Amino acid sequence: MFKDITLGQYMPGDTVVHRLDPRAKILLTFVYIAMVFTVSSPLFYGIPAVYVFMTARLAGLSFRQLLKTIKPLRILLILTFVLNVFFSGGKTVLVHWNFITITQEGLLLAVHFSLRLIFLVLGTSILTLTTSPVALSDGIEILLTPLKKVRFPVHELAMMMTIALRFIPTLIEETDKIMKAQKARGADFESGNLIARAKAMTPLLVPLFVSAFRRAGELAMAMEARCYHGGEGRTRLRVLRFTREDGRAFLVSFGMLALLIVCTVLW
Amino acid sequence: MPIRVENLSHTYMPGSPFSSTAIHNLSLTIDDGEFIGILGHTGSGKTTFVQHLNGLLMPTGGTVVVNGTDIVAKGAGLRELRKQVGLVFQYPEYQLFEETVMKDIAFGPKNIGCDKEEIDRRVRWACEQVGIDYETTGKASPFELSGGQMRRVAIAGVLAMRPKVLILDEPTAGLDPEGRRAILSMIKKLHTDTKMTVIMVSHNMDDIATLATRLIVMNKGTLEMEGTPREIFKQAERLKKIGLGVPQGAELAQRLRKEGFNLPDDIYTLDEVCDAILKLKGVAQDV
């Protein structure tokens, strides 16, 4: 039952987008976010739209995969839309019925904010869809390196992230196994009221914690046995290098941002 | 509690890019009182198969009929099924959770609704079966025990449900030779004393050779061979082809045969080989 959960959204592949340096991808995502926030009227969403769909195409992602990333957001989207339609005021009244008033300005604003939300999620999803969690935490670690100056434990944080990500599938498997073992002894995890169900969790949680602590201890021992002593002077297996492709990606992205700014100013 | 497996198939995550078939079209029957050994290489589907026998996994094709009840049918009563078919998982000591050994063993009987006296009777009985002292060890925390003792407590936890069929998945994995022998002789005694059906999964030939009355060999999710240990271990080449070996006795006899000694081809325990060699020698001396 737990096997259906896939970790993160990463879709392995070998496309230009997949091959980009994770640092570049993280920075480009920020450029893209800037782009989305620059858009001042719904009309101009054409530019981020072209950007997102072009990138998705290059990454070999289907339209359906992209749409799936917005799905968890649907309630927030509906809420944003409805609140903006009804409560933003404005002069040009389109519909007036009892206490409900819909204005042209309100409608435009609702569309604007909904689109902003959609495009923000779409763009950032492409990052997580095409970058493995390990590459992502590598990229974050390097980008955060300047924070070491203020004694921020960048390396430790990245290591913790990597280890946590690595052990999620293991723990899910473990949970599944213990659950089955207790079910074989007649345990019932599905019926009863809330308190009964919470109580029924003890036979699952105790062994799970015991094994998580055991694993943590073993891992720490194994890391120390291989002379791990923190990030000081540590080199990497995969050295990240910016390539021509990264340069081109930056060029295109900043080009699109500039185009958007010019359009907005001229409008 | 005869078990009939018909064209059983199991596919994990069907319809997704990660789908994988663990069992394909498996059919067999298991009669009362048998001691079945299930052999197979890692990933041959042994564990997936046994989890169907008490309804922890549901077939994606075919069916399993336990004591006349089809487990796929609606209202098949999985709880009743799990009471009858006890399953001891691999490394069962990792499922212990209670404060004391006694309480942990009592978990199963409590779940199936036994009253207090019945629970106590069952816990005592289970402790005795696995060689755990009820009065002393029973009051200890399961987390204070040694690995071998923890495993016995875990097995006792399943025995206390008084199942008619006992399934053990790699019960000796990770134990030292002493612990292994203790667990094996305990299982053997249980089988002779209670006449319950025992199904033991293993990839250790020597463990299974001396205990099982019938062997089931699985390979890549299908039934590769089936028969008495004598029939199976005769086919050493076929076993080796699917990544398994033969018991030490069979291996020794085979090598001696290759060297020109006239030993029978269906012996597989060391005792049998010993007798055969003595007989050979005796005959030679007589001449």
- A-to-B residue pairs, Cβ atoms closer than 8 angstroms: 59
To the nearest whole angstrom, how far is the Cα of A9 from the nearest Cα of chain B? 14
Inter-chain touch B82–A178, beta carbons under 8 Å = no
Whole-number Å distance between alpha carbons of A41 and B146: 70
For residue A178, list chain B residues with Cβ-Cβ distance below 8 A.
94-95
pLDDT digits (tens, 9 = 90+) for B103-140: 999 999 999 999 999 999 999 999 999 999 999 999 99
* DSSP calls for chain A: -GGGPPSSS-----SHHHHS-HHHHHHHHHHHHHHHHH--SGGGGHHHHHHHHHHHHHTT--HHHHHHHHGGGHHHHHHHHHHHHHHS--S-EEEEETTEEEEHHHHHHHHHHHHHHHHHHHHHHHHHHHS-HHHHHHHHHHHHGGGGGGT--HHHHHHHHHHHHHHHHHHHHHHHHHHHHHHHTT--SSSS-HHHHHHHTHHHHHHHHHHHHHHHHHHHHHHHHTT---STT---SS-----HHHHHHHHHHHHHHHHHHHHHHH-
Instruction: Show residues of chain A in contact with B95, CB under 8 Å.
Output: 178, 181-182, 203, 207
Q: Is B190's pLDDT higher than 90? A: yes
- Band the pLDDT of A2: cuts 50, 70, 90: very low
Whether residue A180 has pLDDT greater than 50: yes
pLDDT band at A6, cuts 50/70/90?
very low
Q: Which of A9-18, B56-65, B96-105 has the lowest mean pLDDT?
A: A9-18
Confidence of residue A89 (pLDDT cuts 50, 70, 90): confident
- Shortest CB distance from A184 goes to which of B13, B18, B87? B87
Q: Where are the beta strands (DSSP E) in chain B?
A: 3-12, 20-30, 35-40, 61-66, 69-70, 85-88, 165-169, 197-202, 214-219, 222-227
pLDDT at position B287: 45
- The CB density around residue B79, as the number of other CB atoms within 10 Å, is 14
Separation CA A48–CA A264 (nearest Å): 13
pTM of the shown model:
0.77
On average, the pLDDT of chain B sits at: 90
CA separation for the pair B190, B35 (Å, rounded): 11
Q: For B103, which residue in chain A has the nearest alpha carbon? A: A203
pLDDT of A66: 85
- A interface residues, B as partner, C-beta within 8 Å: 3-4, 6, 177-178, 180-188, 202-203, 206-207, 210-211
CA–CA separation, B227 vs B34, rounded Å? 12
Per-residue confidence band for A8, with pLDDT thresholds at 50, 70 and 90:
low
Closest-CA distance of chain B to residue A182, Å: 7
Among the partner-chain residues A183, A203, A206, the one whose CB lies closest to the CB of B56 is A183
More confident residue, A239 or B92: B92
Interface of B with A (CB under 8 A): 12-13, 16, 18, 51, 54, 56, 79, 82-83, 86-87, 89, 92, 94-97, 107-108, 111-112, 143, 157-158, 161
- Distance between CA atoms of residues A167 and A190, nearest Å: 26
* Closest A-chain CA to B14: A4
The pLDDT value recorded for residue B284 is 57
Contacts A185 to B, Cβ<8 Å: 82, 107-108, 111, 157-158, 161
pLDDT at A51 (0 to 100): 93
Cβ–Cβ gap B51/A180 under 8 Å: yes
Residues of B in contact with A211 (CB under 8 A): 94
Which residues lie across from B218 on neighbouring strands? B40, B223
- Token code pair at residue B24: 């394909």
Q: Which of A3, A62, A185, A204 has the most B C-beta neighbours within 10 Å, making it the best mutation to test the interface with B?
A: A185
Interacting residues of A57 by C-beta distance below 8 A, sequence separation 6+:
none
Question: What tokens were used for A154?
Answer: 């960048």
CA distance B90 to chain A (A): 9
Lowest mean pLDDT among A32-36, A190-194, B136-140: A190-194
Q: What is the mean pLDDT of chain A?
A: 87
Angle, to 10 degrees, between the axis of helix A74-87 and the axis of helix A104-130? Answer: 160
Tokens of A178: 């213990």
Q: Are A183 and B82 in contact (CB under 8 A)?
A: yes
The pLDDT confidence band at residue B37, using thresholds 50, 70 and 90, is very high
Q: What is the mean pLDDT of residues A153-171?
A: 87
The percentage of chain A sitting over the pLDDT mark of 90, rounded to a whole number, equals 42
Which pLDDT value is given to residue B13? Answer: 80
Q: What pLDDT, on the 0 to 100 scale, is given for residue B26? A: 93
Phi, psi at B29, each rounded to 5° = -125, 150
CB atoms within 10 A of CB B144: 10
Query: Which residue of chain A is at minimal alpha-carbon distance from B80?
Result: A186
B15 φ, ψ to 5°? Answer: 80, 0
What pLDDT does residue A118 have?
92
Q: Which three-class secondary structure state does DSSP give residue B101?
A: helix
Q: Which residues of B touch A206 (CB under 8 A)?
A: 97
- pLDDT for residue A191: 77
Rounded Cα–Cα distance for residues B246 and B214 (Å): 15
What percent of chain B shows pLDDT beyond 70?
Answer: 97
Cα B111 from Cα A187, distance rounded (Å): 6
CA distance B174 to B243: 20
Q: Mean of the pLDDT values across residues B156-176? A: 94
State the pLDDT at residue A3: 42
Give CA–CA dist B279/B286, Å, rounded.
Answer: 10
- Return d(Cα B52, Cα B233) in angstroms, integer: 27
Answer yes or no: is pLDDT of A86 > 90: no
- pLDDT for A49: 93
Identify which of B96, B97, B111 has the shortest CB distance to residue A186: B111
Contact A192, A185 (CB under 8 A): no
- Residues A125-133, mean pLDDT to the nearest whole number: 89
The ranges assigned to domains in chain B are 247-287
Identity (one letter) of the amino acid at A254? Answer: F
d(CA B34, CA B192) in angstroms, rounded, equals 10
Asked if the model's pLDDT at residue B21 lies above 60, the reply is: yes
Residue A244 CA to residue B82 CA, distance in Å, equals 62
Q: Mean pLDDT over residues A25-38, rounded?
A: 93
Residue that wins the pLDDT comparison between B29 and A237:
B29
Check pLDDT > 60 for residue B30: yes
Distance from C-alpha of B103 to C-alpha of B120, rounded to nearest angstrom: 10
Using CA coordinates, name the residue in chain B closest to A202: B97
**Interface test with chain A among B95, B100, B161, by most A beta carbons within 10 Å:** B95
Where is pLDDT greater, at B86 or B19?
Answer: B86
Whether residue B164 contacts residue B3, with contact meaning beta carbons closer than 8 Å, is answered with no
Q: Does the pLDDT of residue B286 top 80, yes or no?
A: no
Shortest CA gap B185–chain A (Å): 23
Q: Please report which confidence band the pLDDT of residue B76 belongs to, taking 50, 70 and 90 as the band edges.
A: low
* B283 pLDDT more than 70: no
B184 DSSP β-pair partners: none
pLDDT mean over B89-107? 93
Q: Do A186 and B112 touch (CB under 8 A)?
A: yes
Residues B230, B91: Cα–Cα separation, whole Å: 29
Does the distance separating the beta carbons of A202 and B95 come in below 8 Å? no
Mean pLDDT of A20-37: 93
Q: What token pair was written down for B140?
A: 């200890």
Of these ranges, A53-67, B60-74, B151-165, the one predicted with the greatest mean pLDDT is B151-165
* Nearest-neighbour CA in chain A from B266: distance (Å): 38
Q: Is the pLDDT of residue B8 over 90?
A: yes
The DSSP call for residue B198 is E
For A184, which of B12, B18, B54 is closest by C-beta distance?
Answer: B54
Q: Within 10 Å of residue A57's Cβ, how many Cβ atoms? A: 13
